[in-house]
Structure 1
Amino acid sequence: MEHTSTFTRTSGQYSDIVSKEMYTFEDKNGDSISLRPEGTAGTARALISNGLQNSLVKKLFYSGHMFRHERPQKGRLRQFDQFGVEIFGPSHPASDVECIYLAYKFIAELQLDGDTTIILNTLGDEVSRKRYETALISYLSSKKEKLSKDSVLRLDKNPLRILDSKDPFDVEVLEGSPDILSFLSDSSRDRYLFVESALSDLGISFKRDKNLVRGLDYYDDTVWEFVSSSSRLGKSQNTILAGGRYNKLVGIFNSGVQIPGIGWAAGIERLSFLLKNAESLTEPEPISIILVPESRMVENTESKKRIIGYKLVSMAMRVSSLLTENGFRSKVIHSPNVGDFEEAEYPTLKKQLSIANKSNSNYVIIIGENEIKDNKLVLKNFLENSQFLCRFEDLIYRLKSL
């Protein structure tokens, strides 16, 4: 959570995130609080709050839950996980290239379904953007009757947001809109050409989209999106990573400090939909540990009951600890029972094997009184329907050899 002003002051009062998507409420002190819809603004606020601006450069990353009141659909959730990186301090376009290159390597390493295209643009510096906005408003005003209702409202409040519209009538109008490259200052033009040249020299292909502006108002100069062609995502959810430069953002939280920044973020859920090798990234099923009960006569009766002794439990804990220390997940099989444990019967070996099998364990370690006496364990392989005895000391070796 953050104070609502963290986002209203940075993302833009008329951005979709602030005007439509934030979960906002008052706390007991009457302060306006919001569930974070994105991570960059909060990271910039934390930079100032914790005095981290006193020792730049800072390269940071974050991962956590984000919340937006959107229409839930595949790749677009009201609660989602986001991973991001931020660099605070350098203004040289070398940091722009580093950020984009890091994102490129990150996405390439995941080997996602479909092709990924890098979309690149610049929003220019403040002077460039004002010149461009004047020309854009003039052009869009002449086409006002063709614009969507939302874009007409944005024309006076935040015209750059119109460039992000997916409305088919707006898209048609925007095809003839002015190009910001014609309005860039020398500094912004040189920065953008530096980034393009460096990416080309690295062999990284990209496309420029003059209408790419990103959905947050704090961006300036370089912006980019990574867009997937995979059919697993809808066209409106095909952006899998996005970022840009924000040289004025930190100054919003401390007017006496101007710290350049740049970064990107990616939605974990969208990336997970595109994983080709998802199975190899999932955690292996835990190895089940089964304790074999003994049938003993119940005192003062002629009946027997299945029970386990404390030595079995102690051995199970030692086995579990050994597995964990060597990178294996494990779980001791239990069965629900009610009442005093001395009156309850422990589940049979057959019952416990059934539980382990249903929980998709590939391997089972069986411990009984005889195994404890001989310092041995029974290792059962569900995959091959086989089992064998092994010493406690040899357990890890035998598991790794399977």
Structure 2
Amino acid sequence: HINTLGNAKVRQDYHDALVNYFTPFKDQLSDDSKRRLEKNPLRILDSKDEQDKQFLPGAPRIIDYLDEESKANFDQILEMLDQLDINYVIDNDLVRGLDYYTGVIFEFMVEDKSIWESASTILGGGRYDNLVKEFDGPATPAVGFGIGEERLMLVLQKQNPALFADQGIDFFITNIGQETQIKVVEIARLLRKNGLKAQYDVDQKKLKAQFKKADRANAKFVITLGAKELSDGVLNVKRLADGQTFRFSFGDLENMNAVMKQLKE
């Protein structure tokens, strides 16, 4: 969903038009919208109050107040979206009441009624040309957006449940002795850097309890690191599927492709 707020003059003209439109209905507006009418009438258009909704369909549309420059800019953006095969809806009800917004504004909406009864926004943003200046910085053209992370996760969970299936982890690193703690972190970082899922016991519980954690995490392999392994520069790796154990040097981990190939044979 996309719209534009135009430039400062467009916004002021639209502000005045909204005031002229809503003023005759002032006594029938909600208390919040009465306050907004004095300070920021654009925010009335976002109202969810039933008292206000009856007046919204007849409210002026900002697209009717665009000057030539603002309209040309908006048309250029729409043309680019068309050329890139990006679907969009010109939404005249889409506005922003915050002063730092300028020009184009947009929202990504989910219209799947199996998830929500009505369309729901999961991402919204636009041009922020006045934002840096409002924080005492230099005038800086900008664009940005905010995501409703929880909503996005709900959508993903509904539309692609396989993403949320518990597939376990690749490695659980068990360790014994305070002197091994740093090495455990180094190994975990190295494994993760190679795109592998790795965990270790930050609570430093007894070895038996750590193996139970590995089982609960559905780990494929368990690395055991103690004082002797640290001294010898080796790692014992157990494949939990069949109990087979492997022995690698610390240096072997620099070639994780070869290590993983051997572990999976």
For Structure 1 versus Structure 2, the TM-score category normalised by the shorter chain is 0.7 to 0.9
Query: How far off is 1:246 after superposition?
Result: 3.0
> Do structure 1's residue 325 and structure 2's residue 194 form an aligned pair?
no
Output one character per residue of 1:191-224: Cα deviation in whole Å (capped at 9) or x when no partner.
1111112111211111122121124222122111
Output one character per residue of 1:58-117: Cα deviation in whole Å (capped at 9) or x when no partner.
xxxxxxxxxxxxxxxxxxxxxxxxxxxxxxxxxxxxxxxxxxxxxxxxxxxxxxxxxxxx
Q: Distance in 2 between matches of 1:136 and 1:333?
A: 59
Whichever residue aligns with residue 271 of structure 1, its letter is L
Q: Distance in 1 between matches of 2:184 and 2:134?
A: 55
Other-structure match for 1:343? none
Q: Distance in 1 between matches of 2:167 and 2:151?
A: 16
Q: Percent identity?
A: 34
Contact 2:130 2:139 in 1 (8 A): yes
- State the TM-score, normalized to the length of structure 2: 0.73
> SS of 2:13's equivalent?
helix
The alignment covers a number of residue pairs equal to 249
> Do structure 1's residue 357 and structure 2's residue 215 form an aligned pair?
yes
Query: How far off is 1:174 after superposition?
Result: 0.9
2:146 equivalent among 253, 262, 265 = 265
Q: Distance in 2 between matches of 1:262 and 1:120?
A: 14
> SS of 1:392's equivalent?
strand
Higher share of residues assigned helix: 2
> Do structure 1's residue 171 and structure 2's residue 171 form an aligned pair?
no
> Do structure 1's residue 287 and structure 2's residue 152 form an aligned pair?
no
| 1:193-232 alignment, distance < 5 Å | 193-230=75-112, 232=115
Whichever residue aligns with residue 147 of structure 2, its letter is A
Other-structure match for 2:245? 389
Q: Distance in 2 between matches of 1:156 and 1:351?
A: 64
Structure 1 residues 288 and 247, CA, compared in 2 at 3 Å: closer, same or farther? closer
Structure 1 residues 207 and 370, CA, compared in 2 at 3 Å: closer, same or farther? closer
Whichever residue aligns with residue 127 of structure 1, its letter is K
Other-structure match for 1:70? none
> Do structure 1's residue 183 and structure 2's residue 48 form an aligned pair?
no
Between 166-175 and 276-285, report the one with greater CA deviation: 276-285
Contact 2:170 2:220 in 1 (8 A): yes
- State the TM-score, normalized to the length of structure 1: 0.51
Q: Distance in 2 between matches of 1:369 and 1:252?
A: 57
Q: Distance in 1 between matches of 2:213 and 2:131?
A: 55
Q: Distance in 2 between matches of 1:249 and 1:350?
A: 55
Q: Distance in 2 between matches of 1:195 and 1:173?
A: 30
Contact 1:135 1:178 in 2 (8 A): yes
Whichever residue aligns with residue 387 of structure 1, its letter is G
RMSD value, Cα: 3.9
| 1:1-400 alignment, distance < 5 Å | 119-230=1-112, 232=115, 238-254=120-136, 257-275=138-156, 276=160, 278-279=163-164, 284=169, 286-289=171-174, 321-322=186-187, 324-327=189-192, 328=196, 329-331=198-200, 336=205, 347=206, 352-366=210-224, 379-382=237-240, 384=241, 386-393=242-249, 396=256, 397-400=258-261
Between 158-167 and 259-268, report the one with greater CA deviation: 259-268
> SS of 2:85's equivalent?
coil
Query: How far off is 1:228 after superposition?
Result: 1.9
Query: How far off is 1:319 after superposition?
Result: 7.3
Structure 1 residues 131 and 140, CA, compared in 2 at 3 Å: closer, same or farther? same
Whichever residue aligns with residue 392 of structure 1, its letter is F
Whichever residue aligns with residue 132 of structure 2, its letter is V
> SS of 1:391's equivalent?
strand
Structure 1 residues 361 and 128, CA, compared in 2 at 3 Å: closer, same or farther? same
Structure 1 residues 194 and 156, CA, compared in 2 at 3 Å: closer, same or farther? same
> SS of 2:244's equivalent?
strand
Structure 1 residues 391 and 143, CA, compared in 2 at 3 Å: closer, same or farther? same
Identify which of structures 1 and 2 has the higher relative contact order when contacts are C-alpha pairs closer than 8 Å and 6+ apart: 1
Contact 1:220 1:246 in 2 (8 A): yes
